[in-house]
């Protein structure tokens, strides 16, 4: 599948998946959501099983076996499912793994693939509108990719192949985009709390983050970078770092490396100005010093 092959703006018809029979392993937040989206478009859910209940699950004659268990459990579940005939296609939703993890199911007649939604699921999101514009990473056998594409098209989503070799770092980057951002917000809130600042400050940081993210575009976040590092304001940055060294020294390496990474992204956009070069030299010196 070409990486540029995608689908958006396709009206979701209630019968778009009519006649598609499927079973779900892993009725958690992701699995329940995708199953609801499929049913809303006309698919029929035949059976649901938790990951500890799959030993006798047979899905032969069905179109899809959707495996939506955590990444660390897919190998175990695939081994258990392999003992019985299964659906024409088996898809897993694990972001860090490629289709090969479901290879044991080929012996039971299944084409295997992956269908990973690049979306946070804080709880089951049952409204199919939640899928619109979401990126789905797929790979695997041609029949599996074809069904993954059909599902994504129905949900008005975006789909492209993310091959096996790219999976670990694709997934790591996803953790940066979601968990990493939240970790930084939690760190900001912790500093405010240590300073005995009012809770309203933490809320302010959250709104600040939302505003900054809103300025990012689908083509990249780098052009939306902001702050004293972006401005090349070395005195302010060094004051920040000096205060951290005194008040929260364990966070100093993180702050230095974040600033250096910001400058690396700026350098990708255009050559660094003399103030930026001076700041980078100061940060490099601090990094080696610490």
**Residues forming a β-bridge with 92:** 67, 114
Q: What is the pLDDT of residues 92-117, one digit of tens each?
A: 999 999 999 999 999 999 999 999 99
Q: What is the pLDDT of residues 137-155, one digit of tens each?
A: 999 999 999 999 999 999 9
141 phi and psi angles, rounded to 5 deg:
-65, 155
Residue 170, pLDDT score:
97
| Reduced 3-state DSSP string for 12-68 | CCCCCCCCCEEEEECCCHHHHHHHHHHHHCCCEEEEEECCCCCCCCCCCCCCEEEEC
Residue 290, pLDDT score:
61
The CA distances from residue 197 to 42, 53, 189, 190, in Å, are 52, 50, 9, 10
Query: Three-class SS of residue 200?
Result: helix
Residue 1 has pLDDT above 80, yes or no: no
Distance CA 209, CA 203 (A): 10
Query: Three-class SS of residue 136?
Result: strand
**Residues forming a β-bridge with 113:** 91, 140
**Residues forming a β-bridge with 264:** none
Contact between 154 and 41 (Cβ < 8 Å): yes
Mean pLDDT along residues 285-290? 84
pTM of this structure:
0.85
Residue among 26, 33, 45, 25 nearest 124 (CA): 33
Helices (H), 137-180: 142-154, 167-175
Q: In the structure, what pLDDT confidence band is assigned to residue 8 with cuts at 50, 70 and 90?
A: very low
Distance CA 146, CA 89 (A): 10
Tokens standing for residue 95? 């972001």
Contact between 140 and 98 (Cβ < 8 Å): yes
Residue 56 has pLDDT above 90, yes or no: no
Give me the chain's average pLDDT, please.
Answer: 92
Residue 247, pLDDT score:
94
Q: In the structure, what pLDDT confidence band is assigned to residue 3 with cuts at 50, 70 and 90?
A: very low
Residue 2 has pLDDT above 70, yes or no: no
Residue 51, pLDDT score:
85
Q: In the structure, what pLDDT confidence band is assigned to residue 31 with cuts at 50, 70 and 90?
A: very high
CA angle 273, 279, 284 (to 5 degrees): 125
Q: Give the number of other CB atoms < 10 A from CB of residue 177.
A: 12
Contact between 73 and 101 (Cβ < 8 Å): no
Contact between 117 and 148 (Cβ < 8 Å): no
Distance CA 103, CA 66 (A): 14
Residue 221, pLDDT score:
83
């Amino acid at each position: 599948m070409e990486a540029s092959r995608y689908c958006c703006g396709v009206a979701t018809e209630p019968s778009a998946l009519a006649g598609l029979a499927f079973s779900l392993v892993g009725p958690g937040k992701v699995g329940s959501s995708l199953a609801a989206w499929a049913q809303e478009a006309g698919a029929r859910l035949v059976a649901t099983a938790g990951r500890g209940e799959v030993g006798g699950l047979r899905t032969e004659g069905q179109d899809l076996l959707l495996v939506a268990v955590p990444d660390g459990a897919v190998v175990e579940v695939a081994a258990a499912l392999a003992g019985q005939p299964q659906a024409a296609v088996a898809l897993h939703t694990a972001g860090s793994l490629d289709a090969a993890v479901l290879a044991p199911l080929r012996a039971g007649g299944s084409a295997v693939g992956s269908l990973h939604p690049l979306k946070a699921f804080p709880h089951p999101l049952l409204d199919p509108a939640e899928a619109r514009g979401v990126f789905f990473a797929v790979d695997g056998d041609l029949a599996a990719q074809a069904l993954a594409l059909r599902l994504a098209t129905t949900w008005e989503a975006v789909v492209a192949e993310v091959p096996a070799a790219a999976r670990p770092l694709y997934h790591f980057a996803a953790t940066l985009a979601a968990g990493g951002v939240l970790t930084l917000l939690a760190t900001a809130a912790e500093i405010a709390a240590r300073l005995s600042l009012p809770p309203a400050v933490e809320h302010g940081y959250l709104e600040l983050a939302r505003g900054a993210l809103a300025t990012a575009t689908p083509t990249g976040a780098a052009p939306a970078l902001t702050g004293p590092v972006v401005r090349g304001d070395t005195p302010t940055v060094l004051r920040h770092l000096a205060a951290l060294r005194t008040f929260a020294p364990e966070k100093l390496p993180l702050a230095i490396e974040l600033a250096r990474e910001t400058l690396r992204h700026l350098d990708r956009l255009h050559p660094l100005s003399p103030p930026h070069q001076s700041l980078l030299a100061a940060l490099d010196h601090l990094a080696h010093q610490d």
